[in-house]
Amino acid sequence: MGTRQEISALPPEADLARADSLAREIFSDVANKWAFLIIEFLGQRTMRFSELRNEVGGISHKMLTQNLRMLERNGLVERTVHPTVPPRVEYTLTEAGSGLRAVVDGMCGWTQRHLGHIEASRRRFRDPAG
């Protein structure tokens, strides 16, 4: 994955097959509506679990927990536990998570720029006679 120039700049020992496989795994993990929303909101500021749940309307406790764990496992979110009683837990995007947020923002911009074309194509697909 990447441009020819990016690939040619890699050291000879770079394992492109492994990198491609990892990229596919990460895309598969984060390609859901909840992960994108979590990334978007955490990109604005560090949040506690309850704050994040309130911002991401409609997400269940279980789904938020699963997505935060997946994002943390992939190095996109950092979880910080403060030693207080009760413990205070905060979530923030890592540098990699912020980079992914920029990509997601780019995808949203692309969608906005091509919205009319996409909607027209979908209408034609549903109604080939029209």
- Give the per-residue pLDDT at 4: 66
- How many CB atoms are closer than 10 A to CB 103? 10
- Give the per-residue pLDDT at 22: 81
Residue 11 lies in a domain: no
Its pTM surpasses 0.85: no
- Give the per-residue pLDDT at 52: 97
Alpha helices, DSSP H, located in 1-130: 4-8, 16-30, 33-42, 49-55, 61-73, 95-113, 115-126
Full residue range of the structural domain in which residue 64 is found: 19-126
Question: Which two structure tokens, joined as six digits, stand for 130?
Answer: 């029209």
Residues of the chain with pLDDT under 50: none
Query: Domain with 115 in it: what CATH number?
Result: 1.10.10.10
Domains contained in the chain, number: 1
